[in-house]
Amino acid sequence: MNKLLSTIAAGLLVLGSSAHAATIASFGTGSTGSVVNGTVTSSEALSDTNNSLYFQGVTTPASDWVWATTSDEFLSLTYTFEFDLTGYDLTTVSLDGFWGIDNIGTVVLNDDHELSNLPNVVIGNFNVLTGFGSDNSNEFNQGMNSLVFSVSNQGGPGAFRASGAITGELADTAPVPLPAAGWMLIAGLGGLAAMRRRSKAA
């Protein structure tokens, strides 16, 4: 019985201390998009826009096509997503997302890590979305991080769409406290063992 109790207790402690990558922060452009555990800023005021040629599929996190409210066709703007990795194990952090642009642009992480570049005016920049990401711990900061989309319209309608998420694990590997139900189970089994010993003694 004591061996059974030890095995169950060890199993519960392992379950209580196990760590899994979880979503740290996420963002999506447009009115259906949202920002979780981060902030976004744009060099221009943005509003939803669309065109039948633009990619119409769903992204996770959700996003919409947006562009500046100005009428200037030859416009460049920056869209920045900032997120905090304080306390996270950078070797477990991963950034994944998709973006599109009418017409050209780049995606840069923390000033000097280019994650994606769409330098040519082609339909493929906006009728499909292009993936970007990083799981290189050297590209992340232990603290604030910035993901910057530098985008430009080369005439005619302009549009931009992006979404992304950051996952990872906390650097603190101390066991998570065992839920109260787990301790109650251990105490109950201990009581059964004590009763069994008393019955044998009798």
DSSP string of 25-44? EEEE-STT--EESEEEEESS
Is residue 79 within 8 A of residue 33, CB to CB? The reply is no
- Integer-rounded Cα Rg, in Å, for the chain is 25
The span from the CA of 117 to the CA of 134, in Å, is 14
In this prediction the pTM is: 0.77
Q: Which two tokens stand for residue 143?
A: 């603290």
The span from the CA of 170 to the CA of 53, in Å, is 42
Is residue 27 within 8 A of residue 14, CB to CB? The reply is no
Tokens 């251990």 — which residue? 186
**H or E segment at 9?**
helix 2-17
DSSP-derived letter for residue 195 is: H
The span from the CA of 198 to the CA of 182, in Å, is 25
| Number of Cβ within a 10 Å radius of residue 83 | 23
DSSP-derived letter for residue 141 is: -
Give the pLDDT score at 180.
57
Residues of the chain with pLDDT under 50: 2-18, 183, 185, 189, 192
Give the pLDDT score at 71.
79
Give the pLDDT score at 20.
66
- The pLDDT tens digits of the residues spanning 131-155 come to 999 999 999 999 999 999 999 999 9
The span from the CA of 93 to the CA of 145, in Å, is 12
User: Strand 144-152 and strand 104-109: pairing?
Assistant: antiparallel
**H or E segment at 114?**
strand 113-118
Give the pLDDT score at 3.
44
User: Strand 88-102 and strand 38-42: pairing?
Assistant: unpaired
